[in-house]
Structure 1
Amino acid sequence: MDVQYKSIGKRIKLRRKELNIKQNELAEKLNISNNHLSSVENGREKPSLELLLNICELLNVTPDYLLLGNMHTNDISQDILTGLRLCAEEDVLLIRNMIELLIKRNHKDWNNRNLL
């Protein structure tokens, strides 16, 4: 069970960094101490359901992503998922890099919307 909380914490930290949000900034928005957020990110403390949902909202992710690592699996058509499974490992890596570029591009748009 602890491994799951470590994974959840790693995903919180990863997403926070993807959005260029400092730990203390996120903690402040969540109305919790920086130490508590650090403990959640390191898997030492289990976030409450309310905290988990607030983190999802602020990091623009689904609970599915934090709990299971699936960002938007329900939105991805089955033929795309099946096609990815049929790709060679090097092709999947290329697709992952392309997705990361799209995320960075969309990240700028997302940040601009949040600044308004």
Structure 2
Amino acid sequence: MVDNFPSVGERIKSIRKQHKLTQIEFAQSLDISQGTLSEIESGKAKPSFDVLVLLSDMYLVDMNWLIINREAELRVGLKNDELFLLENYRKLEQIAKDELLDYTNLKLLRFQRKK
């Protein structure tokens, strides 16, 4: 499956890069070692709750954005054919996505009229 949503570590790395900080500088601001930060950014370790709270407060980042796995959230309750459609939709160029949405709206309107 294609995972278009960043992990917690990837999100933390993006915050660091957005603030143009080195791993050492960023780690110091969070009161953790550079090695720990490196492991968090690479997905080998998970940040503690204290680190997440500090990061959220210091860098004005929404805690939900940091920790919620939207990909898993989106998959809950989806059938295999729905997942297949979603994954393939994400691979399309924008013009093809627009065409597919237009087609879907047309099919939906026809279906609703038959009722």
Per the normalisation by structure 1, the TM-score is 0.51
In the alignment of these two chains, the number of paired residues is 69
**Structure 2 matches for 1:34-73, cutoff 5 A?**
34-68=34-68
Cα distance in 2, alignment partners of residues 43 and 52 from structure 1: 15
Distance 1:22 1:57 in 2: 19
Please list the CA deviations of residues 55-104 of structure 1 after superposition, one character each: whole Å capped at 9, or x if unmatched: 1222220111111378xxxxxxxxxxxxxxxxx936xxxxxxxxxxxxxx
Return the alpha-carbon distance in structure 2 between the equivalents of residues 17 and 69 of structure 1. Answer: 21
1:52 is displaced (CA, Å) by: 1.0
From the superposition, tell whether residues 20 and 69 of structure 1 become closer, same or farther in structure 2 (CA, over 3 Å). Answer: farther
For residues 13-55 of structure 1, what are the alpha-carbon distances to aligned partners after superposition, in whole Å with 9 as ceiling and x for unaligned?
Answer: 0121012122111111111110001111111111111111111
Where do 5+ consecutive residues of structure 2 fail to align? 71-92, 96-115
Q: Aligned letter for 2:54?
A: N
Tell me the residue number matched to 1:94: none
> How has the CA–CA distance of structure 1 residues 11 and 61 changed in structure 2, closer, same or farther, with 3 Å as cutoff?
same
Percent identity between matched residues is: 33
Tell me, yes or no, if the aligned pair for 1:11 and 1:69 is still in contact at 8 Å: no
Please name the residue that 1:22 is paired with.
22
Separation in 1, partners of 2:25, 2:69: 23
Structure 1 counterpart of 2:10, one-letter code: K
Q: Which amino acid aligns with 1:89?
A: Q
Structure with greater helix percent: 1
- Return the match for 1:89 from 91, 94, 111: 94
State the Cα RMSD in Å: 2.5
Displacement over 4 Å in runs of 4+: none
* C-alpha distance in 1 between matches for 2:41 and 2:10: 6
Q: Looking at CA atoms only, which structure, 1 or 2, has the larger radius of gyration?
A: 2
